[in-house]
Amino acid sequence: MKSYKRIVLLSFSFLLILAPLNILGVDTDGDGLSDADETSLANTYLPTMQFVDGELFFPASIEYHLSNSILKQKVGDTIVTVDASPTIPEISVLTNVNDNYFLENSLSFEEISQDYDQWKDVNGYFVYAHVKPDMEGSESYIVIQYWLFYAFNNGPLNDHQGDWEVIEVILNSSEEPLYASYSQHESGEKTSWANVEKVDGTHPKVYIAKGSHANYFRSYQGNLGIESDIVGDNGQMINWNELQVVLLGEEGTGSQGWLKFAGRWGALGGGAEELRGRNGPLGPKYSQDGEKWQSPASWGLGLFAVDGNWFLMNWIVANFLLIFSILIIALVIWKVYGIVKLHRKGGLRLWAFLKTKASVGIVLGIIGIVLTAMALFLPWYSVTMNIQSGPFSTDGNVDVLVIDGIRGVQVNLLGDGLVQFFGMKIPFLIIILAIVLLSILDLIGMKSARQMGRKYITGGITILIPVIII
């Protein structure tokens, strides 16, 4: 009897030892990584997010959006209300993208911003982590995705209800970080792990554009792109340890059934709204035909690669006016010094030139300077359209492209008026006025009529160079 009790006791003790090992080895989603490993990796590389001053929306939970949404379906040209109070089990069975279901927020933009502001103060900030082993070619990777949902996208070029963005950290098979990939609009950027700004050693710092929520590696990026994003480090920062992490499995079972929803997380309009970028986004599993979710290594590694040279170029563009101003001030000081030095030697010849045939050239030069200055405040080039019918119809003539000296290059996508195009925020006015000022100083400091001719030629070329470069 004692021997029997001893066997039972040993067996029970052995089971107690094995129990935690079994728990640690549980792989709920069957992707080859245990739940414990996925949780550990997700927590290790959680991002710290830097926003811009004036940002209205931060990462929220999908339950928040669902609580304010009406489930609708677009059937042909007709919008049908399916359920005014949709639930996760209900939307989890809607798995066909072509069925055109969508979760339309019942609130206006102003109401959403006010409602969300109150909600976040109580509920905080959410990130949905997806950890997946993946192959790209013959290489094995482990990809950690951080999916971020925003209640509204009010970017400079388009706006729409709902916004899904993703941040990836790509590890090798030994769980060593190799790359980081950040989504930006319909594409994104990748860089080596060494180029990533980090917080507390392993947490990538992400600079998030105002309104559009595009993700960047540096605070001075955003100027080189059609969106002309506003990025900076003067707003709220959400540290990695402030985030509420929801670990996503592969299949979206139970409370994660919303992953299977193949509809839009926001309002759905017609084809024109799609072209204007005003439709709500598809969810993580269906974004870009499912590539982001099913093949995260392929998606992340296929993005535009950036490095230190790219960051330097972005910094120069972001600080162009400062750099340009310093150079111009230095040139002005140098030229004024030369004029003063020449004057002390009695060598100023401008008034003498005015009494010779050279006066004609000087007068023409002055007229050219005046006309150039006047032209800076007028449109240089514009394209106007009048579309009388169709989804892009306009109310009379509308400027679709404007280039001038003050606002640079602007385009109108017939949705939100004129916006800066491809980061062309540089005011040509300042550049050309500076060149005109230098030309005047050259005119004053000329020593011979022959020199005056050369100055006119070089001055004209100098005016053209920045315009061509920009």
Residue ranges of the domains in the chain? 35-306, 313-469
pLDDT by residue for the chain (470 residues), tens only, comes to 555 555 544 444 544 444 444 445 798 888 889 999 999 999 999 999 999 999 999 999 999 999 999 999 999 989 999 999 999 999 999 999 999 999 999 999 999 999 999 999 999 999 999 999 999 999 999 999 999 999 999 986 678 999 999 999 999 999 999 999 999 988 999 999 999 999 999 999 999 999 999 999 999 999 876 667 899 999 999 999 999 999 998 877 778 999 999 999 999 976 666 666 689 999 999 999 999 999 999 999 999 999 999 999 999 988 888 888 898 899 899 989 988 888 787 777 666 666 666 666 667 767 776 777 777 677 777 888 888 776 667 778 888 788 776 677 777 766 666 766 655 556 667 777 787 788 788 777 776 666 666 666 666 666 566 555 54
State the SS3 of the chain.
CHHHHHHHHHHHHHHHHHHHHHHHCCCCCCCCCCHHHHHHHHHHCCCEEECCCCCCCCCECHHHHHHCEEEEEEECCEEEEEECCCCHHHHCCCCCHHHCEEEEECCCHHHHHHHHHHHHHHHCEEEEEEEEEEEECCEEEEEEEEEEEEEEEECCCCEEEEEEEEEEEEEECCCCEEEEEEEECCEEEEEEHHHCCEECCCEEEEEECCCCCCEECCCCCCCCCCCCCCCCCCCCEECHHHEEEEEECCCCCHHHHHHHCCCECCCCCCHHHHHCCCCCCECCCCHHHHHHHHCHHHHHHCCEECCHHHHHHHHHHHCHHHHHHHHHHHHHHHHHHHHHHHHHCCCCCHHHHCCCCHHHHHHHHHHHHHHHHHHCCCEEEEEEECCCCCCCCCCCCEEEEEEECCCEEEEECCCCCEEECCCCCCCHHHHHHHHHHHHHHHHHCCCCHHHHHHHHHHHHHHHHHHHHHC
C-alpha–C-alpha distance, residues 55 and 57, integer Å: 6
Find all residues with CB under 8 Å of 118, minimum gap 6, and list them.
none
Count other C-beta atoms under 10 Å from residue 457's C-beta.
10
Positive or negative: CA dihedral 128, 184, 169, 240: negative
pTM over 0.75: yes
Q: Determine contact, residues 178/172, Cβ cutoff 8 Å.
A: yes
459: left (phi over 0), alpha (psi -120 to 50) or beta: alpha
Residue with tokens 């926003």: 51
Closest CA relative to residue 267, chosen from 255, 280, 256, 257: 280
Q: Are 71 and 83 in contact (CB under 8 A)?
A: yes
